[in-house]
Amino acid sequence: MNHENQSLGGNWGISGGNGSPRLSELSERDRVFRLAAQILQDPLAQSNLCDRIYELMQNDLHYQRERTYGGGY
């Protein structure tokens, strides 16, 4: 999976467009809301997001097990 899109709005093609404020001028909450709305309209973006979340959860579980069992699980 490509990890270039880890930051909010990074390479997702989000632009202000139509006189709306630029992404950099929006609050963090507004940026997250806009990004979520756009991802909901794009099945490929949804799939990529789900894949990335799954990968992060797997990594977290691995590190939790490593801390709990000292790496010998």
Answer yes or no: are the C-beta atoms of 23 and 9 closer than 8 Å.
yes
Burial code of 37-55, b = ≥16 C-beta within 10 A, e = fewer? eebeeeeebeebbeeeeee
Question: Is the model's pLDDT at 28 over the cut of 50?
Answer: yes
Each domain of the chain, given as residue ranges in start order, spans: 44-73
31-41: pLDDT as tens digits: 999 999 999 99
Instruction: Return the higher-pLDDT residue of 20 and 57.
Output: 57
Percentage of the chain modeled with pLDDT above 70: 63
